[in-house]
């Protein structure tokens, strides 16, 4: 154990820390020194989104002290930026210690003279974003680790628009947090009168907002018996999803009972992530047994949604995030047009690694489609820039996130569940399913298929290996991939696009981000995106082809899957 780590441990044993914490450290010294070293060898990083880590004692863990110090730094920055009364909203999910961390956060803000709106109990992340805007807050925090395993918790920080922070505020808050050198720098208590508890009244305002997103409320009334199966996967979705579905008029809702009780141990799943088939398996079984029309699942903080539907053979399948986004974007564009409520300046926003099928749909309907960096904070930033000039209707990304309407500024699975059921009801009224609609869209716009490979490079050299990989692609991009010429290289770090055939270059008008994209002559797009916080790199693959007829859907999908497989192998990414 190095000297710096030992000094950190000594500081905790001698400083103003609870005796129970000191006892835990002493136990680890005797029983698990390797675990103790991991808990102290570095500080848990306050990144551009906040904190996330394993819970426990130590500077590299989520605990009372790391949360308190982060909140003190954030409070200091808020007071620098805003004159007069400063207020924040605070929410938390179902995870172990989430309420405890939320109360610590509230107490520190309040002790700094900041007015706090603290939710009475667990609430979905999107309601936190809504509450910031409704209460005119200058910031906010939700204690959640999203869909990470049960050992984790986190702390997501928001700005006055209800979105997670973008430059310069994200980096400035990090600077202020890093200035908090000791727990003695934290104001832990003394401002309790600054805390206001919020609950049902805010829930009702939020649910009214969700209801206002309905394009065809009459369809929901006609199809009120739509057979819906829903699982919150032990998370916060149970608080508001059933109420939202009831508000839309759906009366035949079946909750997956085994996963209905909020529980930070997530006893029925390995990972509480609706993107994983395993997490949705109990819901799939129930949907099949009931012969349901649609299955929906949300993650612990209810900002991601997964959808299950029956395919043309009658087998249940889970849609991927791109397919869900395609259906939702198309519905908001198509249904608004059919209803006569579309506006000439309607716009949609997606991320650069989300399917280009959305771009094709938007273009065919005369709707502006903007591409931004990965993360809903960038979608929110674009909304802010276009406010008063263009009318935002929907945004989303491939990782199972949708943001419908502009009353919130983060992904929202509550409204996504409700609107997905409306979409299913709309198709059922025509004697069809959402799967049928997806096939129709592929016939109309082309069959787009996406896949993702995530590579972790462990050990001390992991980050260096990933950096070398990116530098190699940047300096020596492949000339051909799977027999197709690489026509363009888009470098978001250098903010330059280059036609590799003609040599023509152009500026990419987005913030710097270490992302590379190869665009092939056949329309294939390959994106490489390293993580900013861990030694991991993600490769996104998007291929497409025409779909000659509905019956060729499975065969075309197989060909596209094989094409992605060949590309992965050729690039040496199959592990």
Of the candidates 413, 448, 172, 196, which has an alpha carbon nearest to the alpha carbon of residue 307?
A: 413
Of the candidates 429, 448, 452, which has an alpha carbon nearest to the alpha carbon of residue 439?
A: 448
The helix-helix angle for 64-81 and 169-179 (nearest 10°) equals 120
User: Among this protein's residues, is 182 annotated catalytic?
Assistant: no
- Residues, the chain, total? 575
Q: Which residues contact 57 (CB under 8 A, 6 or more apart)?
A: 12, 21, 24, 25, 28, 39, 63
Residue 319 gets which letter from DSSP? P
Tell me the three state secondary structure of residue 500. Answer: coil
| Structural contact between residues 164 and 155, judged by C-beta atoms closer than 8 angstroms | no
Distance of CA 32 to the CA centre of its chain: 35
Q: Which residues contact 30 (CB under 8 A, 6 or more apart)?
A: none
Strands (E), 78-190: 87-92, 115-119, 139-143, 152-159
Sheet with 139-143, strands from edge to edge, namely 50-54, 152-159, 139-143, 87-92, 115-119, 195-198
Distance (Å) of CA 525 to CA 148, 456, 481: 29, 22, 10
The answer to whether the peptide bond before residue 349 is cis (omega within 30 degrees of 0) is no
| Structural contact between residues 115 and 82, judged by C-beta atoms closer than 8 angstroms | no
Of the candidates 77, 73, 57, which has an alpha carbon nearest to the alpha carbon of residue 65?
A: 57
* Pairwise CA distance, residues 311 & 435, whole Å: 6
Residue tagged active-site, from 129, 146, 214, 399: 146
Tell me the three state secondary structure of residue 471. Answer: helix
Give the residue numbers annotated as catalytic, written as ranges. Answer: 146
């Amino acid at each position: 154990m190095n000297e710096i780590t030992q000094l950190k441990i000594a500081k905790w044993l001698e400083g103003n820390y609870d005796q129970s914490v000191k006892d835990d450290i002493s136990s680890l010294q005797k029983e698990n020194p390797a675990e103790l070293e991991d808990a102290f060898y570095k500080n848990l990083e306050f990144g551009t989104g906040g904190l996330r880590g394993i819970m426990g004692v130590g500077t590299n863990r989520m605990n009372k002290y790391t949360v308190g110090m982060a909140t003190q730094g954030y409070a200091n920055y808020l007071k620098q930026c805003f004159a007069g009364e400063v207020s924040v909203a605070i929410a938390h999910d179902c995870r172990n210690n989430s309420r405890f961390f939320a109360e610590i956060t509230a107490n520190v803000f309040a002790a700094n003279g900041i007015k706090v709106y603290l939710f009475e109990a667990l609430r979905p992340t999107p309601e936190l974003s809504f509450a910031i805007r409704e209460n005119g807050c200058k910031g906010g925090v939700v204690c959640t680790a999203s869909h990470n395993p049960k050992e984790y918790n986190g702390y997501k920080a928001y700005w006055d628009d209800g979105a997670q922070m973008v430059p310069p505020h994200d980096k400035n808050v990090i600077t202020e947090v890093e200035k908090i050198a000791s727990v003695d720098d934290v104001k832990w208590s003394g401002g309790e009168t600054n805390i206001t508890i919020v609950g049902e009244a805010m829930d009702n305002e939020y649910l009214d907002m969700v209801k206002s997103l309905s394009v065809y409320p009459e369809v929901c009334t006609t199809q009120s018996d739509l057979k819906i199966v829903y699982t919150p996967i032990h998370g916060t979705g149970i608080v508001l999803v059933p109420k939202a579905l009831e508000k839309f008029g759906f009366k035949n809702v079946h909750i997956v009972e085994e996963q209905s009780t909020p529980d930070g141990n997530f006893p029925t799943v390995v990972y509480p992530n609706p993107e994983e088939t395993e997490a949705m398996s109990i819901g799939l079984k129930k949907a099949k047994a009931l012969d349901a029309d649609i299955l929906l699942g949300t993650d612990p903080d209810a900002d991601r949604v997964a959808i299950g539907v029956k395919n043309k053979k009658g087998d249940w399948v889970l849609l991927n995030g791109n397919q869900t986004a395609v259906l939702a974007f198309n519905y908001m564009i198509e249904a608004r047009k059919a209803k006569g409520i579309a506006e000439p300046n309607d716009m949609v926003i997606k991320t650069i690694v989300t399917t280009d099928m959305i771009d094709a749909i938007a273009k065919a309907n005369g709707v502006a489609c903007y591409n931004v960096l990965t993360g809903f904070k960038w979608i929110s930033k674009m909304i802010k820039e276009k406010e008063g000039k263009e009318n935002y209707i929907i945004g989303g990304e491939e990782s199972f996130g949708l943001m419908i309407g502009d009353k919130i500024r983060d992904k929202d699975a509550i409204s996504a569940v409700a609107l997905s059921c409306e979409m299913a009801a709309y198709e059922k009224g025509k004697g069809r399913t959402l799967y049928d609609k997806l096939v129709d869209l592929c016939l109309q716009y082309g069959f787009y298929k996406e896949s993702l490979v995530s590579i972790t490079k462990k050990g001390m050299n992991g980050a260096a290996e990933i950096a070398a990989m990116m530098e190699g692609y940047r300096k020596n991009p492949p000339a051909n991939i799977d027999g197709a010429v690489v026509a363009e290289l888009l470098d978001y770090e250098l903010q330059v696009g280059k036609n590799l055939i003609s040599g023509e270059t152009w500026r990419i008008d987005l913030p710097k981000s270490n992302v590379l994209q190869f665009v092939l002559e056949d329309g294939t797009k390959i994106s490489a995106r390293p993580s900013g916080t861990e030694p991991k790199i993600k490769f996104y693959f998007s291929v497409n082809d025409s779909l000659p007829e509905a019956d060729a859907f499975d065969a075309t999908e197989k060909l596209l899957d094989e094409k992605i497989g060949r590309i992965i192998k050729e690039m040496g990414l199959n592990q």
